[in-house]
Amino acid sequence: MTTQDRIDGVDALRGFALLGILLVNSMAFASAFYGLELPDPSYDTGLDRAVHLIVALFFEMKFYLLFSFLFGYSFTLQMRSAEKAGDAFVPRLLRRQVGLWLIGLAHGVLLFHGDILTTYAVLGIALMMLRTRSDATLWRLARFLVIGTALAWFALGVVAVLEPPSLDRDAIVAAAAATEAAFRGNWQSIIGQHLTELSSVWVILGLLQAPSALAMFLVGLIAGRRQILSRPQENRGLLRRLVRLGLFVGLPGAVVYAYTGVEMSDTPLAIIGLAIGLLTAPLLTGAYVGAMVLLLDSAGGRWLRDLLAPAGRTALSNYLLQSLICALIFHGYGLGLIGHVSPLETVLIALIIYAAQLVLSGWWMRRFAYGPLEWLLRFITIWRIPQWRKLASADQQ
Task: Give the range of the structural domain holding residue 247, as residue numbers without chain letter.
Answer: 3-382
CA distance 223 to 217: 10
CA distance 63 to 281: 9
Q: Is residue 391 part of a domain?
A: no
Residue 2 has pLDDT above 50, yes or no: no
Residue 348 has pLDDT above 60, yes or no: yes
pLDDT in tens, 79-93: 877 777 777 888 989
Q: Is residue 388 part of a domain?
A: no
CA distance 285 to 244: 12
Q: Is residue 397 part of a domain?
A: no
What pLDDT does 392 receive? 53
Alpha helices in the chain (DSSP H): 3-30, 46-58, 63-85, 89-110, 117-130, 135-162, 169-183, 187-204, 210-225, 236-245, 251-263, 269-296, 302-313, 315-330, 343-365, 372-382
Phi, psi values for residue 368, rounded to 5°: -125, 155
CA distance 35 to 204: 11
Supply angle C-alpha 363, 368, 372, rounded to 5. Answer: 95
pLDDT in tens, 154-198: 999 999 999 888 888 889 999 999 999 999 999 999 999 999 888
Q: Is residue 211 part of a domain?
A: yes
Q: Is residue 300 part of a domain?
A: yes
Q: Is residue 394 part of a domain?
A: no
Average pLDDT of the residues of the chain: 91
What pLDDT does 1 receive? 45
Q: What is the pTM of this model?
A: 0.91
Nearest one of 260, 219, 258, 265 to 242, comparing CA atoms: 219
DSSP string, 244-255: HHIIIIIHHHHH
pLDDT in tens, 209-243: 899 999 999 999 999 999 898 888 889 999 999 99
CA distance 198 to 210: 15
Give the total number of structural domains in the chain: 1
Find all residues with CB under 8 Å of 82, minimum gap 6, and list them: 88, 89, 92, 93
Over pLDDT 90: what percentage of the chain?
Answer: 73
26 close to 352: Cβ distance less than 8 angstroms: no
DSSP string, 2-20: -HHHHHHHHHHHHHHHHHH
